[in-house]
A and B are shown apart, each in its own frame.
Chain A
């Protein structure tokens, strides 16, 4: 059993003046340095002794990371240090990407959301991360500053395992950006926790749907599931069913079953694997049905 220690272990707090310097530092101290944003995961894990970094590199506020920008031609960019409450309050988010606000709103408490960030939630790469599903169905891309400069990492290939991503030492995620959403789309994030606010997801389902004449069904759906696999899971088979067969109650039920079959959840104190699978089916059916009601002609 883990032995709690009071407060944080000793570490050096590092704040550098440029992204280049921060990347350089992180790369030079691979394995003993870690970037942090709001610290809502970093400090808890350090207090509990799971992470033992010697250096904590504060990357907040570097080079425009504190901005939300919306461009009607290209889409939305949320800087890495924008906290979740700002995302929830953003008019552009609420007008064009309301599912991001809906998902952020399910994270922990108001107090915690004044520190927590979307990019931090993504980089923490917990399978239970509540905003990750919304980012995935919105086709989000992470902007990453590494020792070799800036690159884009699509979220669809970003997650490797629980807490593991494609990021390398020296990489700093500076923003997450989203293309303009499809015409006539609707999306939902449904979270099931043990209590009404504050708990981690037993299961979370993000669903986005839109009319698409290239699909046999006339519609396309994107789905993402939380807390049911080692990584945030996209049930591609379920998405394919909804693209191919005329959307009916039976098709939605079939897709929901396919989503359930795609999951490989675990038993933990929040719920059993069996319960999680059933909830994926029920909540996928519910989320897709609600989206469908809003997008059908």
Chain B
């Protein structure tokens, strides 16, 4: 199949504006009559707000308003369940809303003539707290006598998933080898370039209009409308340029409070724009993090390396509120047995409320944690059996017939064998044979001691879309104008371009479907006044879902054009194949997802055994994306995932003590710099089309993140002989593992 537009690396349509600095991010929007907002964060992990005295703050010249819980019409929100107060404190009528449950809970809003005055006034607010017991650890929170953080969650369990297949209990005796491990994964901060910011005002139709950077305009609109007790059409959400998201913008940050301020000011006769820009410190304490998890795994196999049984227990730190913890846990539940077939499986997974920062969406959405445990187990199993980590994977990977732990095969065409072989070949691995054949690939001379080199391998898979019973959908609209020929096409979409290049990809799909050059197509994006729901920019879903919507709308508009309609306009909402939640009954099959992407990686490292520092010399990543709409953007996703995952594995050390964040700056929480990233990343784009994806598309945003940590840790094991069951592999942890400290 040859295509005119897709499969080509078109330059990003947002590139020139971003490079020249003309692009407006939400914090760049200036108005002559703007007001500034600052938020009083709780900055304590668990306490009841007894009294808030705003008198001094309100008396400060230049302060326009101070808002607290009593000013919030419906003082609750949340993507999955509304368990979080908009503002914590007394007087809102919402039960439990007077309690702060993590340091980033919001207590009061100050709106003033300048940011400086707003900050001064914020510091004049006096809050009387009664401290409550701090639950800093999920195990502690699950104890029977622990303080109950939410009335709906006995034992503080926010979510529990259970998957059973076959009969795990009676099978261990038939296993020739059993591998057991307990794995711990850390927090991770999104560290997007652009901290949370936004501006809100009343538009010409009196709609409360919020300019912000998020991941799903429609959902933001719903959340704001609920808290303000207004019909959604009274709220308008517009996305300006978005400086990275990685999942961290899926939940609310400044959206509701900006809209609340505009509403309350208007009631007082003040109709002026309100603006807020979070500092980096506010961003780091104010939004969710990747869930820390503890995963206990017991796997059994035959001496030939065929997997027989897996028993896994997952405990995830959900933090103070639900956010998407239940959905994240679903992905961990599925991925904690890896992309392999087991005849016998039992997984019990718990997400537990604590007084830590909420766990939320972050690139991989539970799958990095699941894969860490699974791929560590697989690599230990290969070692125990003297097998190549490639060979043991080829023997066990899922294919079109084999069934996942939930009792059903993976839909959409399974290419695991192919990605494993591609990554292995490029990484110089033997496909078969004993471990002795897996000495590091001699691509460069071995370093002198105390540095040692090693190589590791891992594979992965990830669902495309939220699913688990949720009816995935995405909307698009295409309008065609002209007479005999189409002069101008307009594409309306609401998928968030968070920096991944979504708008460019959709333009390419529209151009391909309409057989138009891209410069004849105008884009109208992410404004709830003129766009509907394209769904969230998350779950590696947007190219698949929104691509299908764009393709469907373009095909329908074209049909109307051919029927001589002028202009020819078509809207289309793509509905993905149906999925089901996990089965209620043990052993019953379920179909939690409709599409997947696949990945395998080979990682080479050098470990300095005197300092404990790790340098990544090479990463090979083979990713089945179905069809690369824009190959350069796909490579960008692969390289970006690899670097972010390397930070997760080695460098990023988010430290929390008793609910307080010890690393609230980018000087204390480090992310990889240009000299820290791998010397070389070989991105191999595999295209095994998904028949239901637009032009065969799967997804790519998350998959290359998944195997990196276990492959890197296997490489460190290869270099040092030591397995690390927790990370990040800070130099200190490495030396401790080597018993040198």
Interface residues of A (CB under 8 A from B): 1, 3-7, 192, 194-200, 202, 269-272, 274-275, 278-279, 282-283, 286
Contact with A along B260-288 (1 / 0, CB 8 A): 00000000000000000001011000000
Counting CB contacts under 8 A, is B567 at the interface?
no
- Tell whether A272 pairs with B123 under 8 Å between CB atoms, given A195-B651, A195-B676, A278-B740: no
Q: Are the C-beta atoms of A195 and B670 separated by less than 8 Å?
A: yes
Decide if A198 touches B655 in the complex (CB within 8 Å).
Answer: no
A195-B651, A282-B610 are known contacts. Are A269 and B668 too (CB-CB below 8 A)?
Answer: yes
- Are B610 and A194 closer than 8 Å at their CB atoms? no
Indicate if the CB atoms of A199 and B670 lie closer than 8 Å.
Answer: yes
Provide the bound-state CA to CA distance between A195 and B730, in Å: 10
Contact across chains for A6 and B741 when beta carbons are under 8 A apart: no
**Shortest 10 CB-CB contacts between residues of A and residues of B:** A196-B675, A275-B732, A282-B610, A6-B115, A4-B281, A4-B279, A5-B119, A1-B43, A269-B668, A195-B676
Complex Cα gap A3–B662 (Å): 14
29 contacts between A and B (CB under 8 A): A1-B103, A1-B660, A3-B122, A4-B279, A4-B281, A6-B38, A6-B115, A6-B116, A6-B119, A6-B279, A7-B115, A192-B611, A192-B731, A194-B730, A195-B670, A196-B676, A200-B667, A202-B731, A269-B653, A269-B655, A269-B662, A269-B663, A271-B731, A272-B732, A275-B735, A275-B741, A279-B611, A282-B610, A282-B611
Chain A, Cβ-Cβ closest to B36: A6
**Distance (whole angstroms) from the CB of A284 to the closest CB of chain B:** 12
Residues of A within 8 A of B610 (CB): 282, 286
B115, A271: Cβ atoms under 8 Å? no
Residues of A within 8 A of B413 (CB): none
Query: A-facing mask of B599-616, CB < 8 A → 1, else 0?
Result: 000000000001101000
> Which residues on B sit within 8 Å (CB–CB) of A6?
38, 115-116, 119, 279
In the complex, what's the smallest C-beta–C-beta distance from B548 to chain A, in angstroms? Answer: 41
For A3, list chain B residues within 8 Å (CB): 43, 122-123
Residue B173 interfacial (CB < 8 Å): no
Q: Interface residue count for B (Cβ, 8 Å)?
A: 36
Q: Which residue of B lies closest to A199 (CB)?
A: B670
B residues in contact with A275, CB < 8 Å:
731-732, 735, 741
Q: Which of B119, B122, B672, B735 contacts A278 (CB 8 A)?
A: B735
CB <8 Å contact, B119 and A195: no
Tell me, in angstroms, the Cα distance from A198 to B666 when the chains sit together. 11
Is there contact, CB below 8 Å, between A195 and B660?
Answer: no
Q: Which residues of B contact A269 (CB under 8 A)?
A: 653, 655, 662-663, 668
B673 at interface (Cβ–Cβ under 8 A)? yes
Q: How far is the CB of A197 from chain B (nearest CB, A)?
A: 5
The smallest beta-carbon distance between A111 and chain B, in angstroms, is 13
Cβ < 8 Å to A, chain B residues 276-319:
279, 281-282
Q: Per-residue CB proximity of B702-741 to A under 8 Å, as 1/0? A: 0000000000000000000000000000111001000011
Contact A194 B103 (CB under 8 A): no
When distances are taken between beta carbons in the complex, the residues of chain B under 8 Å from A199 are 667, 670
In this complex, what residue of A is CB-closest to B736? A275
Contacts of B670 in A (CB 8 A): 194-195, 198-199
Q: Which residue of B lies closest to A278 (CB)?
A: B741
Report how far A53 CA is from B540 CA in the complex, Å. 51
A contact residues around B279 at 8 Å (CB): 4, 6
Residues of A within 8 A of B120 (CB): 5
Given contact pairs A269-B668, A271-B732, A196 touches B673 in the complex (Cβ within 8 A): yes
Neighbouring A residues of B655 by C-beta, 8 Å: 269
B609 to chain A, nearest CB (A): 10
> A195 with B611: in contact, given A4-B279, A5-B119 (CB under 8 Å)?
no
What B residues does A4 contact at CB under 8 A?
Answer: 279, 281-282
A-contact 0/1 string along B101-127, CB 8 Å cutoff: 001000000000001100110110000
Binary A-proximity of B628-668 (CB < 8 A = 1, otherwise 0): 00000000000000000000000101010000101110011
**Complex CA–CA separation, A271 to B670 (angstroms):** 13
B133 → A minimal CB distance (Å) = 19
**Chain B residues whose CB sits within 8 angstroms of the CB of A7 once the complex forms:** 115-116
Chain A residues with CB under 8 A of B281 = 4
- B84-116 toward A: CB 8 Å interface, digit per residue (1/0)? 000000000000000000010000000000011
Given contacts A195-B673, A199-B667, 20 further A-B contacts (CB under 8 A): A1-B660, A4-B279, A4-B281, A6-B38, A6-B116, A6-B119, A7-B116, A192-B613, A194-B651, A195-B651, A195-B676, A197-B673, A202-B731, A269-B653, A269-B662, A269-B663, A271-B730, A271-B732, A279-B611, A283-B611
Question: Beta-carbon contacts of B663-686 to A below 8 Å, as 1s and 0s?
Answer: 110011010111110000000000
Q: In whole angstroms, how far apart are the Cα atoms of A196 and B668 in the complex?
A: 15
Inside 8 A of A286's CB, which chain B residues have their CB? Answer: 610
In the complex, A271→B282 CA distance in Å? 24
Interface centre among A6, A7, A199, A271 (most CB of B within 10 A): A6
| Least Cβ–Cβ distance between A112 and chain B, in angstroms | 12
Identity of the chain B residue whose Cβ is nearest the Cβ of A3 in the assembled complex: B123
Chain B residues with CB under 8 A of A278: 735, 740-741
State in angstroms the CA–CA spacing of A192 and B675 once bound together.
Answer: 14
- Which residues of chain A have C-beta atoms less than 8 A from B660's C-beta? 1
Q: C-beta contact mask, B337-356 vs A, less than 8 Å → 1, else 0?
A: 00000000000000000000
A198 touches B651 (CB 8 A): no
Question: Which residue among B116, B120, B123 has the maximum number of chain A CB atoms within 10 Å of its CB?
Answer: B116
A283→B450 CA distance, assembly (Å): 12
Report the bound CA distance from A191 to B279 in whole Å. 30
Provide the residues of chain B in CB contact with A1, threshold 8 Å: 43, 103, 660, 664
Beta-carbon nearest neighbor of A7 in chain B: B116
Complex Cα distance, B281 from A283, in Å, reads 34
Which residues of A are found within 8 Å of B116, using beta-carbon distances?
Answer: 5-7
What chain B residues lie within 8 Å of A196 (beta carbons)?
673, 675-676
Chain B, range 565-582, C-beta contacts under 8 Å to A: none
- Residues from chain A with Cβ under 8 Å of B613 in the complex: 192
Complex Cα–Cα for A161 and B453 (A): 42
Task: Determine the distance from Cα of A271 to Cα of B731 in the docked complex, in whole angstroms.
Answer: 9
Question: How far apart are the CA atoms of A198 and B667 in the complex, in Å?
Answer: 9
Closest to A194 in B: B670
State how many angstroms separate the Cβ of B45 from the closest Cβ of chain A: 11
A41 to B613 CA separation, bound complex (whole angstroms): 28
Note all chain B residues with C-beta closer than 8 A to A198: 670, 673
Docked pose: A196 CA to B676 CA in angstroms? 6
Min distance, Cβ B131 to any Cβ of chain A, angstroms: 14
The residue on A at minimum CB distance from B660 is A1
Across the two chains, which residue of chain A brings its CB closest to B733? A275
B-chain residues with CB within 8 Å of residue A279 when the two chains form the complex = 611
* Chain A residues, Cβ within 8 Å of B103: 1
- Do B672 and A195 touch across chains, with their CB atoms under 8 A apart? yes
Residue of B nearest to A269 (CB): B668
Residue of A with least CB distance to B610 = A282
B722 to chain A, nearest CB (A): 17
In the complex, how many angstroms separate the beta carbon of B627 from the nearest chain A beta carbon?
37
Measured in the bound complex, the distance between the Cα atoms of B674 and A195 in whole Å is 10
Among residues of A, the one whose C-beta sits closest to the C-beta of B285 is A1
Expressed in whole angstroms, the Cα–Cα distance for A105 and B421 within the complex equals 44
Give the distance to chain A from B410, nearest Cβ to Cβ, in Å.
38
Residues of B within 8 A of A5 (CB): 116, 119-120, 123
B662 surroundings in chain A (CB, below 8 A):
269
B122 — which chain A residues lie within 8 A by C-beta? 3
CB distance from A290 to the nearest CB of B (A): 13
Most B CB within 10 A of own CB, among A198, A269, A272: A269
Chain B's closest residue to A286 (CB) is B610
Residues of B within 8 A of A272 (CB): 732
Chain A residues whose CB sits within 8 angstroms of the CB of B38 once the complex forms: 6
Q: How far is the CB of B471 from chain A (nearest CB, A)?
A: 43
Which residues on B sit within 8 Å (CB–CB) of A197? 673-675
Distance in angstroms between the alpha carbons of A5 and B118 in the assembled complex: 10
Task: State how many angstroms separate the Cβ of A24 from the closest Cβ of chain B.
Answer: 32
- Cα A286 to Cα B493 in complex, Å, equals 59
Which chain B residues lie closer than 8 Å to A195 at the CB level?
A: 651, 670, 672-673, 675-676
